[in-house]
Chain A
């Protein structure tokens, strides 16, 4: 799967048509310009597209009023995992190394965030294929 196809697929899943048109499509068009002109590094150009995608997701979440509900759905499993984690450490968390604590924290966040993101986030729009609009040489 190419970068543009991946961005397009993610947008189809998580973004409204409006956010795709106003935020992600112009960023993808800029990526094309960058790849054609070679004025900027490809990595920086792709990072800008990813940043635009994340910003669009945030805009949609805030605008749609889904943020509080989504946060609640993330917090429920987070509390669940944290509770069992604390049960498994009877001597308290002071005995654990900071690296282990951070790792467990990341695991709890991932286990809580990922299912809520995949299952809750509403399907926004039918899939699209922005890659079809791109010239074959630049669709890498």
Chain B
């Protein structure tokens, strides 16, 4: 019987999902609201990786006819991504407990 491979989630991915909970955002917006925790040069690599894992979805912004320039991309968290995020959050909290706290 094959072993189920559990999804992995880094702290950066967790932070992004926190910021995307309940709303769509641009990549640059994520960087600006992260207070320096996300870097512009790497945010899209992380977002692309998260999209491959199914944690986020993205779409190109809707633009007026005749608009010029490259379209920007909007990101939102998926249900799956949020479930994995919440599970990891519980795990991190549990692992951060000291033995005495765990017994209380």
Contact = CB atoms under 8 A, between A and B. Distances in A.
Contacts of A28: 70
- Binding site secondary structure of chain B: helix
A19 B69 contact: no
A26 B27 contact: yes
Nearest to B58: A22
Contact of A52 (B45, B58, B68, B73): B45
Interface string A56-85: 101100000000000000000000000000
Given A26-B27, A48-B40, A59 B69 contact: no
Contacts, number: 74
A22 B70 contact: no
A23 B72 contact: no
Interface in A37-67: 44-45, 47-48, 50-52, 55-56, 58-59
B36 interface: no
Nearest to B40: A48
Given A22-B58, A33-B28, A59 B45 contact: yes
Interface of B: 27-28, 39-42, 44-45, 47-49, 51, 58, 68-73
Interface of A: 18-19, 22-30, 32-33, 44-45, 47-48, 50-52, 55-56, 58-59, 130, 133-135, 138
Given A27-B40, A32-B69, 6 more contacts: A23-B45, A29-B69, A30-B27, A30-B72, A51-B39, A55-B42
